[in-house]
Chain A
Amino acid sequence: MPEVSPAPAVACAATRRRKVPTHMSASPDRTALLAELQAALSADAVLRGAEDLRPYECDGLSVLRELPLCVVLPVDREGVRAVLQICQRHGVAVVPRGAGTGLSGGARPIRDAVLLSLARLHHIIAIDRENRTARVQPGVRNLAISEAARPLGLYYAPDPSSQIACSIGGNVAENSGGVHCLKYGLTVHNLLELDVLTATGETLRIGSQALDSPGYDLLALMTGSEGLLGVVTECTVRLLPVPEHVLVLLAAFSSVEAAAESVSAIIAAGIIPAGLEMMDRLAIEAAEDFVHAGYPRDAAAILLCELDGPAVELEERVREVETLLQRHGAGAIRIAEDAATRLLLWKGRKAAFPAVGRLAPDYYCMDGTIPRQRLAEVLGRITAWSAEYGLRVANVFHAGDGNLHPLILYDANAEGQLHAAEEFGRRILELCVAVGGSVTGEHGVGVEKLDSMCVQFNAAELAQLHRIKHAFDPEGRLNPGKAVPSLHRCAELGAMHVHHGQLPFPELERF
């Protein structure tokens, strides 16, 4: 498994603050609520003072901040259930939180709501060697599962760059991916069973220890539901055998188009690499300055291609890939066979976000997906807009699966730059939808992409999503106001948008 960057900054350090809408209007009986929470949990499990709450005021999207009513830190499922039941009695909303590395504001607190941290449910309950599964609590860190399984020759495949810090519960809630998901799938493809508590504290056991389960596929529905449908209190994940051999090719290109064509050529040849990542010049320079991975600074784009399998197969494959890369204009190609070089090559990619973060006071990480064949066109438009807004952009791309991460550099203290960055970002996401992609590949909608959701879905689709939410949480108390925008919001904002060639919201009353 590739190495990871240092732990991402999860606490909210800066001082910038911005007003965000809240969704609880009634003022709850705070004192009684806090007393009940304290009685149900241990004394140190309820945080209420402003200084104690400060580290929780945002997630990885630090520009959106809010202080919650309180933070609760139960240590087991019964504690979580007690919190949910108490909150229900008081009609108070609950925001679940894992490690707070989310990049879309999903775990951002809501004023007048309880922030429910799952961080203290952090035990690996069992690893089943014969069935190749791990049963874990939601606060277990992603990487910890693979570390625990490693002595058995097994690992947990989805590996977000934040894997050293992010929790498996957060991974489930976001359906997180990683650099290996082209071959090994997303979180949803590697889950077997979940224990979920609903907003009222009722237990739902979803999925099974077998390969499927009866009734509707709630496992799929729960994965990626951003904490709106239930609180994950336990999960069983699938473990895979550690590949026999792994090697990484690094190829430099003089144009982004050539790099993109190489990706298509590799896949057209029937090869599914374990990882296939692209970086553009600014991202290369930033990574090189930061971790000295030996990336070629003069390249317009680099491609990292990881192959895994038996040694005999890799010997053939690597020659095949090398030939394809050369035929598509790759300059220097480096092949890393030993673990140390391989990890070094990955380190630059995995540290790309913090590396780019050093280039400017702030950056805004986008997460659109596009059909790969539209890459050159999309990057061309981004470059043009970059000049228009006067904001630099570094591009990191999960090239195999079309997931683009443009990082927009800005300075929030400079007049108007934050606003420009946000507008720029929204235009990128609208472009992703226009070329047949999605506004979010793996970071989720959270609070950040609510407006962009209005571009991707029409009113009937959004209404269907709200009806699903209502089936799970009729009172709308779990992470309210996140992930799915209200029709009202879209109508106000989107009067201008045309969706799938239809008029926007023709069926909605005007007010």
Chain B
Amino acid sequence: MCIMASCLSPNWSVFDIDQSQTLQVAVQEAHARSQPLAIRGGGSKTFYGRQTPAGDLLDLGGHRGIIDYAPNELFITLRAGTSLQALEAQLAEAGQMLPFEPPHFGPAATIGGTLACGFSGPRRPYAGSARDTVLGMRILNGQGEILRFGGQVMKNVAGYDVSRLMVGALGTLGVLLEVSLKVLPRPDSTVTLVRPMDPVTAIQRMNHWAGQPLPLSATAYDGEHLYVRLSGTGSAVRAAQTRLGGERLPDAEAAAFWVALREQRHVFFQGDAPLWRLAVAPATPPLPLAGQTLIEWGGGQRWLRGARDATALRQLAAEHGGHATLFRGGDRRGEVFHPLTPPLLAMQQRLKAAFDPRAILNSGRLYATL
């Protein structure tokens, strides 16, 4: 069986650096001086979240390396500054993958930054989110204490689930030092089907299929065509393909399509116009919005371009059980995430104070007061 470093490629050890102690001292000193810190992984996602006054840079990029990878136990433990690319390459060597198919948004992306943003890709509705994949973490809280929650096992209900709480917190609750993630075998076979369709039917189809035992692994609608990706054993994919029909996209083209979508390099995302993300109940019919909508996640994630009336957009998203985020561009000094109800905001402020009493960790990046 493959335990510890024995199954890692040799090139890993050369770059493995544990900087926990240095990072801890930096946070402790910042805490003592109430000096705000700006946490940085690879800097690939600086566009995300609110624009904040510059804090002292806390660079995680050097804190990298895989600590423990046991493919048969379906977990990997690694330092937060490890590059996402390197991590995925390592998993691929063992025939495995991250279930949530994270976007990178640049070659410098680290696993820590990905989890802090809580980003998941096309496979998300069918295989779970970034947060679902987390098994445990070592973090630094705002007082510079190194704390460990969760572990490397799938099931662990000792103590509150602090490690999953860190996902999507944009570094405002703690500095991620080490993470343990659940990994999955790569599917044997993948096929993408495409077919022209109107938006109403497309959303209905995606949700109708999701209610049936089909090996779906991604769906998208670009305003003209519905794309469906099937992944699994060869026989299961073939059976589903026969049943669904539609034109099969050549494999290379299909792979390029899903990567372009995930990385926001698809033509829809080009240009500098603000990018809005709406998360809604997936079966929500097409929304009455000007301009093109790009739909992903079986209808659950919808993208819009251009300057919009934020209040109206947010109200619309809320009416359909969800929320709206100013994902890229626009005015990033105001709130970019959906406003929280007063009791929820108050609770989250108390939670922030419970982790970071002097508000030094990425404060203001998520909400002005968090």
Contact = CB atoms under 8 A, between A and B. Distances in A.
Interface in B280-307: 280-283, 297, 300-301
Interface of A: 128-133, 152-154, 174-175, 177, 181-182, 185-186, 188-189, 198, 202-206, 208-218, 220-221, 223-225, 229, 241-244, 264, 267-268, 270-272, 309-310, 312-313, 315-317, 369-373, 398, 400-403, 436-445, 449, 453, 456-457, 460-461, 464-465, 467-472, 483-484, 500
Contacts of A128: 281, 283
Contacts of A439: 158
Contacts of B118: 212, 217
Contact of B343 (A204, A224, A440, A460): A204
A371 B282 contact: no
B66 to A, nearest CB: 16
A401 B89 CA distance: 25
A102 to B, nearest CB: 11
A224 B160 contact: yes
Interface in B36-93: 70-74
22 contacts: A129-B211, A205-B344, A209-B322, A211-B282, A213-B323, A214-B337, A217-B165, A220-B164, A221-B160, A221-B164, A225-B160, A267-B72, A267-B73, A268-B72, A310-B215, A312-B235, A373-B3, A400-B154, A401-B153, A403-B155, A453-B159, A471-B350
Contacts of B343: 198, 202-204
Contact of B153 (A152, A174, A242, A437): A437
A437 B214 CA distance: 35
Nearest to A189: B132
A212 B345 CA distance: 17
Interface string B230-272: 0011011011100000000000000000000000000000000
B351 A216 contact: yes
Interface in B192-227: 207, 210-215
Interface stretch (B15-23, B25-33, B101-109, B122-130): B122-130
A210 B129 CA distance: 12
Contacts of B370: 215-216
Contacts of A217: 118, 131, 164-165, 167-169
Given A205-B341, A241-B212, A468-B162, A442 B157 contact: yes
Interface string B1-19: 1010000000000000000
Contacts of B354: 464, 467-468, 470-471
Interface in B309-363: 320-323, 325, 337-338, 340-341, 343-345, 347-348, 350-351, 353-355
* Closest A-B pairs by Cβ, 6 of them: A209-B321, A270-B185, A210-B322, A130-B283, A220-B164, A441-B155
B155 to A, nearest CB: 4
Contacts of B210: 132, 241
A159 to B, nearest CB: 14
B213 A244 contact: yes
Contacts of B300: 210-211
A268 B71 contact: yes
A191 to B, nearest CB: 11
Contacts of A371: 70, 73, 152-153
A369 B129 contact: no
Nearest to A241: B213
A437 B152 CA distance: 7
A500 B207 CA distance: 48
B155 A369 contact: yes
Contacts of B297: 211
B281 A402 contact: no
Which of the listed residues A152, A177, A211, A438 has the most CB atoms from chain B within 10 Å of its own CB? A211
A443 to B, nearest CB: 8
A505 to B, nearest CB: 13
A45 B128 CA distance: 41
Interface of B: 1, 3, 70-74, 95, 118, 124-125, 128-129, 131-132, 141, 145-149, 151-162, 164-165, 167-169, 173, 184-186, 188, 207, 210-215, 232-233, 235-236, 238-240, 279-283, 297, 300-301, 320-323, 325, 337-338, 340-341, 343-345, 347-348, 350-351, 353-355, 366-367, 370
Which of the listed residues A175, A177, A468 has the most CB atoms from chain B within 10 Å of its own CB? A468
A214 B118 CA distance: 11
A175 B184 CA distance: 22
A373 B73 contact: yes
Contacts of A188: 132, 161, 164
Which of the listed residues A223, A244, A461 has the most CB atoms from chain B within 10 Å of its own CB? A461
A211 B148 contact: no
Given A216-B168, A309-B236, A461-B149, A224 B281 contact: no
Contacts of B345: 215
A412 B72 CA distance: 41
A271 B74 CA distance: 11
A6 B113 CA distance: 48
Nearest to B214: A241
A204 B153 contact: no
Given A372-B73, A465-B160, A216 B173 contact: yes
Contacts of B129: 211-212
A310 B238 CA distance: 11
B350 A208 contact: no
A131 B145 contact: no
Given A309-B213, A457-B159, 5 more contacts: A210-B323, A221-B160, A221-B164, A373-B73, A500-B148
A438 B341 CA distance: 36
Contacts of A244: 213
A470 B322 CA distance: 29
B352 to A, nearest CB: 8
B166 to A, nearest CB: 8
